[in-house]
Chain A
Amino acid sequence: AQTVTQSQPEMSVQEAETVTLSCTYDTSESDYYLFWYKQPPSRQMILVIRQEAYKQQNATENRFSVNFQKAAKSFSLKISDSQLGDAAMYFCAYRSAGGNKLVFGAGTILRVKS
């Protein structure tokens, strides 16, 4: 079974600075998708960014980018120019290409200091 590990329960970043959230996963499959979701205190689950395993190029969405290392099974999220609104719980998630369920990590709480 696939597992997703987020080793940082909590991270802090100064406003306007850059922070990286770690995620590793375990799978024997070669084709899959990876996602980062943001959950603010309102509890919504908001898709931040996604990556297809067959793509070597790292995904980027404005201030959010990933460092996808397939061989190392690592999928970290970098947030540049951090804003107060980025404060939230961030979840890394895995889905096999032929599967139907998302497997989530335990989450990382991100605090942004002004």
Chain B
Amino acid sequence: NAGVMQNPRHLVRRRGQEARLRCSPMKGHSHVYWYRQLPEEGLKFMVYLQKENIIDESGMPKERFSAEFPKEGPSILRIQQVVRGDSAAYFCASSPQGAGTYSNQPQHFGDGTRLSIL
């Protein structure tokens, strides 16, 4: 049973370019979460999505960042006009049912995408 798949593993962008990070959840999982890990820090929640819906984006910067989880295909985290401060590891996690339903199901993480901004 394949785990959460993230690609690319490493992404290098120049300042001002766009970065697209992809996440395919585990089979049977319909809930996706994105987290950001800055160097020497823990993971910080960004956004929670179900198929075609953003449920909670309270951790996502209001500008330049967007996320989607279409009916078909992977979830995408998009960062427009990247800046040096966007350099981080971005992790995607998935779960089989919404965490808000009092489920003790853990979130399963992908291996992350390390984004480097030149």
Contact = CB atoms under 8 A, between A and B. Distances in A.
Interface in B24-60: 33, 35, 41-45, 48, 55-56, 58-59
Interface size class of B (residues with CB under 8 A): 20 to 34
Contacts of B112: 43-45
A62 to B, nearest CB: 17
A16 interface: no
A42 B114 CA distance: 12
B99 interface: yes
Interface stretch (B11-19, B76-84, B100-108): B100-108
Contacts of A44: 109, 111-112
B102 A50 contact: no
Interface residues of A, number: 26
Contacts of B42: 4, 91, 104-107
Interface in A23-73: 31, 33, 35, 37, 42-47, 50, 52
Contacts of B33: 100-102
A103 B45 CA distance: 7
A100 B33 CA distance: 9
B107 A102 contact: yes
B99 A104 contact: no
Contacts of A107: 41-42
A100 B89 contact: no
B51 to A, nearest CB: 15
A35 B106 contact: yes
A50 to B, nearest CB: 6
Contact of A47 (B98, B100, B108, B111): B108
B91 interface: yes
B54 to A, nearest CB: 11
Contact of A100 (B100, B104, B106): B100
Given A35-B106, A44-B112, A100-B55, 8 more contacts: A47-B106, A52-B104, A91-B43, A100-B48, A100-B56, A101-B59, A102-B45, A102-B107
Interface of B: 33, 35, 41-45, 48, 55-56, 58-59, 89, 91, 93, 98-100, 102, 104, 106-109, 111-112, 114
